Amino acid sequence: MFYWKKLGKVFVPQEITGRPWLSEFAQAPATLIMDDAVRIYFSCRPQADANGQYVSYSAWVDLDRTDLFKIKRVSESPILPLGKVGEFDEFGTYPVSVTRDKGLVRAYYAGWTRCESVPFNVAIGVALSRDGGCTFEKQGNGPVLGHTLDEPFVISGPKIRRFNDQWQLFYIAGRKWKMVDGRAEPVYKIRLATSPDGLVWHKHNQDLIPSRIEEDEAQASPDVIYANGKYHMFFCYRRSSHYRGKQNGYRIGYASSADSITWTRDDTKAGIDVSEEGWDAEMVSYPHVFELDGKTYMAYLGDQVGRYGFGLAELNGRLE
């Protein structure tokens, strides 16, 4: 058995000055391990415009490798520009996942655009960095993983992994939109695509994780790590309606697999839940698990899905 010992909130976007595009939110943390630092990518927003509309950017913060609560650097600008008029990422990049690839850093990101009948649509793009992960260049104006007959909308939440010399992209795909109190709410499930080169993808066209709390449970952030002979997935889930508070808000779940395709869900083993009070007392979500200097950590979001930053927890026990 294992559990996650919460270490506290690490990064608060409201404390960063001189970057009007980084006003609030530090969502969907993802790491790149460096010699002297742990670079954590996240998605953020400037203040809403005059019509109350947001855009989102992705950025990074470098944490001292020997003291993860010590901030060394914060990116001076977003890692990617917004897309041009009509492109899939015209209004934002959220979330992003990175991996090293032959001396470069490759990023997979969800680009979103506004819609009329529903709030947004999303597809997954790819970008490369030649300066060690500081800035990225898109590999094209369109997505690398987009909508298909079986996945007609909301292709998002990319988590890139390399297992057995194969590229594996865990992501979420929209299943339906539900009207709740006059507002369209998305329902999405966790899926997998594989690739020999990270550009041409084969979708497995199946939901990986069964629903537990309701048929229209929404699932996100499928973060997978291999340890002790099996694959371990930490993800988050919520109810399909009235989920912006504690009662129906995000929680972190757990599943395991022998082959990364067929998964057994057991949320009792997740090892982390909301706190009795504080910054993560209403929800916990968007887990990212990484190993560093013999220890295993989880970066995650608290209340309001990371509006006030992200925190860290340390694994106590063994993933089995």
Q: In what order do the strands lie in the sheet with 218-227?
A: 218-227, 230-238, 251-257, 263-265
For 37, the enclosing helix (H) or strand (E) is: strand 37-45
CA distances from 155 to 63, 133, 145, 169, 195 (A): 30, 24, 7, 12, 17
User: What are the tens digits of pLDDT across the range 159-217?
Assistant: 999 998 899 999 999 999 999 999 999 999 999 999 999 999 999 999 999 999 999 99
Instruction: Tell me the CATH number for domain 12-238.
Output: 2.115.10.20
- For 128, how many CA atoms within 13 A lie in the half-sphere containing its CB? 9
User: What are the tens digits of pLDDT across the range 213-234?
Assistant: 999 999 999 999 999 999 999 9
Residues with Cβ within 8 Å of 50's Cβ and at least 6 positions away in sequence, in order, are none
More confident residue, 56 or 320: 56
Token output for 179: 């009207």
pLDDT band for position 53 (cuts 50, 70, 90):
very high
Q: What is the pLDDT of residue 1?
A: 82
User: What are the tens digits of pLDDT across the range 87-125?
Assistant: 999 999 999 999 999 999 999 999 999 999 999 999 999
Q: What is the pTM of this model?
A: 0.97
DSSP-derived secondary structure letter, 81: P
